Amino acid sequence: MTTAAKPGGPPAPKATVNKAGLSKPDYRGLPSTLCAGCGHDSIASQIIQSAFELSLKPHQIIKLSGIGCSSKSPAYFLSRSHGINVVHGRMPSIATGAMLANRNMLAIGVSGDGDTGSIGLGQYKHMLRRNVPMVYIIENNGVYGLTKGQFSATADLGQKLKYAGTNELMPIDLCLEAIIAECGFVARSFAGDAKQVRELLKAAMSYNGTAVLDIISPCVTFNNHAESTKSYTFGKEHEEILQDINFVQAYEEIEVDYEPGSVQEVKLHDGPTILLRKVEARKGGKGEQEGTQATNGEVRYHDPTDKLAALRLLEEAREKQEFITGLLYINESRPTLLDLERLPETALIAMSEEQLRPSREAFAAALAEFA
């Protein structure tokens, strides 16, 4: 069971203030209406924490979601941000339009595995292909929560559900889909691993382009039984952490307390840095020692700037039904949709009427063509 606090609730009594002059309660949302213990709430808490730690200004953030329990969660964080909860699976297109209109916002999208992996797969792929600048979080529980327990497209082969029976279809791996669609920031995490979720979120919020976070987020009501690969128990026992991840903001001095040589540093746009320390793969269930080596006896090392290595890693994990978490792939060199559209720095919505209308001369010249 996760120990992460439910978002919302009464403000903390003594609030420390961040660089934006805001305290943590300023980043909260409404009290959650999700089932107690739902993984989605843990993720919402980390969004609150990350935005607070990064001193983001809530009014410069937009929250977007599709349909599902997961998609309800934007109401439970950042209540000082504008939010929009649209139709099933089509949040990516809303985010695309919104970012074209106002490039100066930070977009945080929350979706579910049904929302993204089934009805929304097309929009998901096209958002990635366009590299729309946004944080795209998939709260992945392998099941449809809001419609009460049908399989989603990410459910693992052989999974069992009370009413739906046994899943006989191959799962869709949304991280694999992201990497082959050239997404430049792809990570997988586990809602029960608050620190990793938080550090990845901070890195994603600082990334210039689509940043995908596929977070296994157990559904305590419909898919948390012992054999489920999307349960808390499974997550805790099988999570293989790729790296110890630390996000360092641009204005902080980078202090490396890792052993030199084993730390990989990834610089992001405008200065912030991600520090990745390789960890030895953990394996096995309860009782096994942390730090034991992977099944084949080798210590796994992953270079997240190597696309093929990331694909291989995920493919192997899929074959072995391993649950690997961490930063899978990062590439900052792709232009975003806004670059490709050659949009000016001024947001389109901030254009004056003069800029929105052609000059009289240009207008007359265009019409003269038809005489």
Partner 1 sequence: MSTAAVDTAPRAVGLDPNRDPVNDFSIVAATVNGSGSQTANSTLIRALFKMGIPVNGKNLFPSNISGLPTWYTIRVSKDGYIARRDTTEVLIAFNQQTAAQDLAALPVGGVCLYPEDAKFERSRDDVTYYPLPVKKMIADLGVDKKLVDRVANMVYVGALAQLLGIEREAIREALSYYLGGKQKAVELNYNVVVASADWARDNLPKQDPFRVERMDKTEGLILIDGNTAAGIGALVGGMTVTAWYPITPATSLADALNEYAPKLRKDPKTDQPTYAIVQAEDEIAAIGMVLGAGWMGARAMTSTSGPGISLMTEFVGFGYFAEVPGVIWDVMRMGPSTGLPTRVSQGDVLKAYYLGHGDVRNICLLPGNVQECFEFGQTAFDLAERLQQPVLVLSDLDLGMNNWMTRPFEYPTTPLDRGKVLDAEQLKQMENWGRYKDVDGDGIPYRTLPGNENPMASYFTRGSGHNENAGYTERPDDWIKNMARLARKHETARTIVPKPVVDRREGAKVGIIGYGSTDPAIVEARDRLHSQLGLETSYMRLRALPLGEEVRQFVAEYDRVYVIELNSDGQMHKLLQLHTPEYATKLVSMAHNDGLPLTPRLVTDQINEMEQTR
Per CB under 8 A, residues contacting partner 1 are: 57-60, 62, 74-75, 79-87, 90, 92-102, 104-105, 122-123, 126, 130, 337, 341-344, 347-349, 351, 353, 355-360, 362-367, 370-371
Q: Which does 94 bind (CB under 5 to 8 A by kind): ligand SF4, partner 1, none?
A: partner 1
Q: What are phi and psi of 155, to 5 degrees?
A: -65, 135
Quote the least distance from Cβ 202 to partner 1, whole Å: 22
| DSSP secondary structure of 56-117 | --GGGEEEEE-SSHHHHGGGGB-TTSEEEE-STT-HHHHHHHHHHH-TTSEEEEEEEHHIII
Decide if residue 304 touches ligand SF4 (CB under 6 A).
no
Quote the least distance from Cβ 117 to partner 1, whole Å: 17
Please, which residue, 140 or 331, has the CB nearer to ligand SF4?
140
Please, which residue, 157 or 362, has the CB nearer to partner 1?
362
Beta bridge partners of 267: 273
Binding mask 213-232 for ligand SF4 (x = CB under 6 A): ------xxxx----------
Decide if residue 85 touches ligand SF4 (CB under 6 A).
no
Burial label, 4 (beta-carbon count in 10 A; 0-12, 13-18, 19+): buried
Decide if residue 172 touches ligand SF4 (CB under 6 A).
no
Farthest-apart Cα atoms in the chain, separation: 85
Q: Which does 102 bind (CB under 5 to 8 A by kind): ligand SF4, partner 1, none?
A: partner 1
| Helix-, strand-, coil-residue percentages of the chain, each rounded to 5 | 30, 20, 50
323 closest CA partner among 230, 246, 243, 204: 230
Q: Which of 4, 22, 47, 69 binds ligand SF4 (CB under 6 A)?
A: 69
Query: What's the rounded Cα separation, in Å, for the pair 301 and 298?
Result: 9
Q: Which does 263 bind (CB under 5 to 8 A by kind): ligand SF4, partner 1, none?
A: none
Please, which residue, 73 or 208, has the CB nearer to ligand SF4?
73
Please tell me the number of Cα atoms within 13 Å of 134 on its side-chain side: 33
Decide if residue 145 touches ligand SF4 (CB under 6 A).
yes
Decide if residue 38 touches ligand SF4 (CB under 6 A).
yes
Neighbours of 134 (CB within 10 A): 28
Q: Which residues bind ligand SF4 (CB under 6 A)?
A: 34-35, 38, 40, 69, 141, 145-146, 219-222
